[in-house]
Amino acid sequence: MEQHSALSQPWTFTKMHGLGNDFVVLDGVRQSFSLRPEDCRRIADRHFGIGCDQILLVEPATDPDCDFRYRIFNADGSEVNQCGNGARCFAVFVRRSGLSDKNPLRVETRAGQMSLHIRPDGLVEVNMGVPILDPAAIPFRAEAPAREYALPFRGQALPIAAVSMGNPHLLLTVEQCDSAPVADWGAELEQHPAFPERCNVGFLEIQDPAHLRLRTWERGAGETLACGSNACAAVVAGQLWERLADTVQVTLPGGTLEIRWAGPGTPLYMVGPAEVVFDGTWIPEGEKT
């Protein structure tokens, strides 16, 4: 199959979203892509491109235990290890495009394997794997694992949790999500030197042990309407702080996810919707008339 630069050839895509976290999903099994960071930025651009928070690429698996390879690119062009809302869309895309009707699907990511199950009610359940709390593996600069860290930030010691769901997350609590300084603090905390690979920043309003409100500043994308992996990390943090139950409804600006976690060393499960918006064709410059 011919490998071509993403922008110089026509290709088809599907626009999807999971709770308003939106994606351009590409079939890299029947088409072949070479996605450079500048190609991703153009595709994700909401004025000069298609517009999305992330680009998801479905590729043939390289691991014989897996059905497909799941690749994720942020709007800023960076390739990353994990995207929870995207995983649900990936499962629906694979079924709808006729690539496979296997259910559950096992996919390989840069963070390991994931299992995606489309339920009879149409919601998708994702086994997100075992949350990572070891600072070196997050990666997060700390002497030893802790439930809470005091992060130096703007002259204060900010109480935070650090969790990896395959990608790095910083979690902090706020009185009210609606007035949280998501853009102001989020942009700076994303680049905090304690997180050498940057991080996704979650602002948690814990309402009761089974209900959490959350807004997220995503690494490489800014504030989004929902971040699945950040919602998972927020439940992990809330449980470590002994403020959340095993099953939690997480309400984000774009809607609600159900997240179940039985505690350290066990896998975490996320359930939520995945919606198709439209199918389209990318037309390269010079072929538009």
Ligand X SMILES: N[C@@H](CCC[C@H](N)C(=O)O)C(=O)O
The Cα-based distances of 182 to 18, 187, 198, 218 in angstroms read: 20, 8, 16, 10
Residues 102 and 116 sit within 8 Å (Cβ to Cβ): no
Nearest to 161 by CA among 243, 225, 83: 243
66 flagged as catalytic: no
Q: Is residue 85 a contact point for ligand X (CB under 6 A)? A: yes
Q: Is 103 annotated among the ligand-binding residues?
A: no
Please state at what angle helix 228-240 crosses helix 84-96, rounded to 10 degrees.
140
Catalytic position from the list 83, 89, 177, 232: 83
Sign of the dihedral through C-alpha 171, 173, 174, 176 = positive
Q: Is 127 annotated among the ligand-binding residues?
A: no
Residues 106 and 145 sit within 8 Å (Cβ to Cβ): no
Q: Is residue 220 a contact point for ligand X (CB under 6 A)? A: yes
Q: Is residue 80 a contact point for ligand X (CB under 6 A)? A: yes
Contact track, ligand X, 170-199, x by CB under 6 A: ------------------------------
Q: Is 229 annotated among the ligand-binding residues?
A: yes
Give the whole-angstrom CA distance, residue 186 versus residue 237. 18
Give the whole-angstrom CA distance, residue 213 versus residue 121. 24
Give the whole-angstrom CA distance, residue 82 versus residue 218. 12
Which of 59-85 are b and which e, b meaning 16 or more Cβ less than 10 Å from the residue's Cβ?
bebeeeebbbbbbbbbbebbebbbbbb
Our CB check for ligand X shows the closer of 115 and 167 to be 167
Interface with ligand X by CB under 6 A: which range of 79-87, 103-111, 137-145, 279-287? 79-87
Q: Give the one residue of 24, 219, 239, 282 binding ligand X; rule: CB under 6 A.
A: 219
Our CB check for ligand X shows the closer of 83 and 259 to be 83
User: Interaction with ligand X in 21-40: which residues (CB under 6 A)?
Assistant: 21
83 flagged as catalytic: yes
Interface with ligand X by CB under 6 A: which range of 75-83, 174-182, 233-241, 258-266? 75-83
Q: Is 218 annotated among the ligand-binding residues?
A: yes
Contacts of 147 (CB under 8 A, 6+ apart): 161, 240, 241
User: Interaction with ligand X in 155-174: which residues (CB under 6 A)?
Assistant: 167
Q: Is 155 annotated among the ligand-binding residues?
A: no
**Residues within the interface to ligand X (CB under 6 A):** 21, 53-54, 72, 74, 80, 82-86, 167, 200, 218-221, 224, 227-229
Binding-site entries for substrate: 21, 54, 74, 84-85, 167, 200, 218-219, 228-229
Residues acting as catalytic residues: 83, 227
